[in-house]
Amino acid sequence: MADEVALLKEQINSLKKISEEKVNVMNQLAALVISTNPQEAENTALAAISDAHMLGYRYGEAMGYFQAGMAAYSQRNFSVSKERYTHSLKLFEELKDEEKQAQVRHKMGNLLLYSGEYKEALAYYAAAIELREKLGDEQGAADLYTNSGIIYGMQGNYPLALKNHLRALKVFERINEPLRIASSCSNIGIIYYEQHNFEEALKMYERSLAIRQQAGDMKAVGEAFNNIALVYNEQGKYADALEMHRHVLQLQELAGDKGKVATSYSNMADVYKATEQFPLALDYYNAALSLLEELNEKRRLVPVYFNIGELYFMLNEYDKAERFLNNAITLAEQTGLRDHLREAYEYMAKLQANHGNFEAAYRLHLRYAELDKEISNAETSRQIAQMTVRHEIEQKEREAEIERKKNVELTKAYESLDVEKKRSEALLLNILPEEVAEELKQTGKATAKLYDGVTILFTDFVGFTKVSMRLTPQQLVDELHECFKGFDEIMAKYNIEKIKTVGDAYMAVAGLPSPNSKHAADMLNAALEIIEFMQLRRKLLGVATFEVRVGVHTGSVVAGIVGVTKFAYDVWGDAVNTAARMEQNSEPGKINVSETTFELLKNDKQFRFIPRGEIDAKNKGKMKMYFAEQVK
């Protein structure tokens, strides 16, 4: 490498005049020395940008910004790196160079990942995946799926995390990339670990370790040992865990990797805490904290702040506990680390109760309970199991198909029950979408699916309690039935899937189970008809019926069946919560839509949107909202 660097420098010096050739060589030199001398790489890339700009050489300028962005990133100057990547991307888009666009978007996603800006990182990764798949670059797309899976895992969205990691693993196995297979196994092991499925986590970690050892990659071997040690700690094998962590620490110290050293300190502290050696635990947590604050690693600081706060709580040092837990909450909210945010809320609620601040304790407990419900929902584990099955038991499915064929004769014996069968099928279709019901009949199960583009509607009756006081119980049920029957008919008109009613609330989703490019327009038309339908009933019945408010949002959801004895088709995801917030912030007789839905429909001439500005939504912060109306 030294010879190559010297050769490039000599070539630059020999090119006295500014030229495209000189710009290209400077960019080559910057790329070559980024890992060893990022400051030199940055200076060289900036010089290339200046020369390219003077020449009007846009490709050279774009490459210069790209190299300068990577150099700033290597020096952890993230804001400068982000600015340079943005310049580079704009130029490559103007040049219509999709390969380079994919590279820049990948790097920008990485930067945003390490800055804790997860939503933005996922958007850049998604755009880069689309480009890689268009270019036929399977490995590049799989690398991006891996990074997306990492973010979803950190956010506690384990179904999407596992889906992305399994998709990446499938590609790496097909193209025979052992080191990437090892990395995917490790990432999948982490998902199992977070779900407390330690047996499966250990299998994945051990598969990863075997590949790493065969390749002689000692740095990665250390990471694999570290993961296995974490499982030992959870299984109560503390002596084994501590011995392995010490071995890993020695490897990381020899490598001079401060971030990994901090991780080893924190892991050893976990073992000491578990074995109630609290002074040692505090020493190692503080050692980890010092290194991570130096590196400004926000997302990795969160668990350390939490663990120190938890430890001080156990030691009844409540003021210190509150300080560290508040730090954990602040950073967890910034970076979207919901698992640690949930745990911090739980301990802060206990702290406030100890201080006699029962109102604050109650509010914190409600936040904890809401997050706990989202993260720990049993459906999450079921979805993970389903996705794992797709990858691991293809052979079992073939065996099941053979067994099914053997039972054909048995099936024929029940032909006399055809009438009852049709009646049962009709009932099933009344409960489940046709595609889901068919899958359930054919396979005995219905797998959960991710839908990237759907529009969700929530309605709620305003003043429900007051109206119910004016009606007898039977009159109230009859009126609800007539209202929801009308809603059902409107949804059927637009082929929208009704999901459920809960009390006086109604929920429906357009765009599933069959994808539909017109899902947003269909849903808004249906919402407008609901408003018109209820206004007509109000004119006819007066105060004997309800006023309705509606909320609409567009996003991604996971949909599937819940329950064993009583099936129910349901959807999950952040988009569902956002749609509910739209409804809660709506007004009687109004349709409140999110910015996402507005962006999809703002040019549709059949609708008019009235901006409401930014409104504070519960657990969402400030969100732009719009009232939607029909253009008459």
Which residue type, as a one-letter code, is found at position 234?
A: E
- What's the confidence (pLDDT) of residue 108? 95
- What's the confidence (pLDDT) of residue 143? 95
Nearest one of 98, 179, 87, 96 to 136, comparing CA atoms: 98
Nearest one of 324, 376, 373 to 351, comparing CA atoms: 324
- What's the confidence (pLDDT) of residue 60? 95
Terminal-to-terminal C-alpha distance of the chain: 71
Return the structure tokens found at 2: 């030294």
Chain segment 363-421, per-residue pLDDT in tens: 887 887 777 776 655 344 444 444 444 444 344 444 445 455 545 444 454 444 454 54
Q: How far is CA 167 from CA 128, 151, 252, 394, 600, in A?
A: 16, 15, 31, 15, 29
* 213-217 mean pLDDT: 82
Domain residue spans of the chain: 1-74+82-88, 297-388, 404-446, 448-630
Chain segment 473-495, per-residue pLDDT in tens: 788 888 888 899 899 999 989 99
Assess whether pLDDT exceeds 60 at residue 177: yes
Q: What is the 3-state secondary structure (H, E, C) of 86-105?
A: HHHHHHHHHHCCHHHHHHHH
DSSP label of 551: E
Dihedral through CA 32, CA 37, CA 40, CA 45, nearest 10? 40
Q: Which phi-psi region, left, alpha or beta, contains residue 96 (left: φ > 0; alpha: ψ -120 to 50)?
A: left
Give the range with max mean pLDDT: 340-349, 354-363, 505-514.
505-514
How far is Cα of residue 456 from the mean position of the Cα atoms in its chain? 18
How far is Cα of residue 216 from the mean position of the Cα atoms in its chain? 33
* 226-234 mean pLDDT: 88
pLDDT > 70 fraction of the chain, expressed in percent and rounded: 87
- Which position has the token pair 């179904």? 159
d(CA 286, CA 302): 13
Average pLDDT, whole number, for the chain? Answer: 84
Helix (H, G, I), strand (E, B) or coil at 569: strand
Nearest one of 80, 77, 126, 78 to 106, comparing CA atoms: 126
Return the structure tokens found at 217: 């990659």
Return the structure tokens found at 138: 């399977």
Which residue type, as a one-letter code, is found at position 353?
A: A
- Which position has the token pair 């997050």? 371
Q: What phi and psi values does residue 504 have, to the nearest 5 degrees?
A: -100, 15
Q: pTM for the whole thing?
A: 0.49
Domain spanning 448-630: CATH superfamily: Nucleotide cyclase, GGDEF domain (3.30.70.1230)
Return the minimum-mean-pLDDT range out of 362-376, 427-441, 562-576: 427-441
Q: What phi and psi values does residue 545 have, to the nearest 5 degrees?
A: -135, -170
Strands 621-630 and 547-562 come out as: unpaired
- Which position has the token pair 């408003």? 531
Verify cis geometry, omega within 30 degrees of 0, for the bond prior to 279: no
CB atoms within 10 A of CB 46: 18
The H or E element containing residue 462 is strand 449-462
**Structural class in CATH, domain 297-388:** mainly alpha
* 544-556 mean pLDDT: 91
Nearest one of 404, 417, 406, 388 to 444, comparing CA atoms: 404
Return the minimum-mean-pLDDT range out of 163-172, 397-406, 457-466, 534-543: 397-406
d(CA 216, CA 119): 36
Helix (H, G, I), strand (E, B) or coil at 455: strand
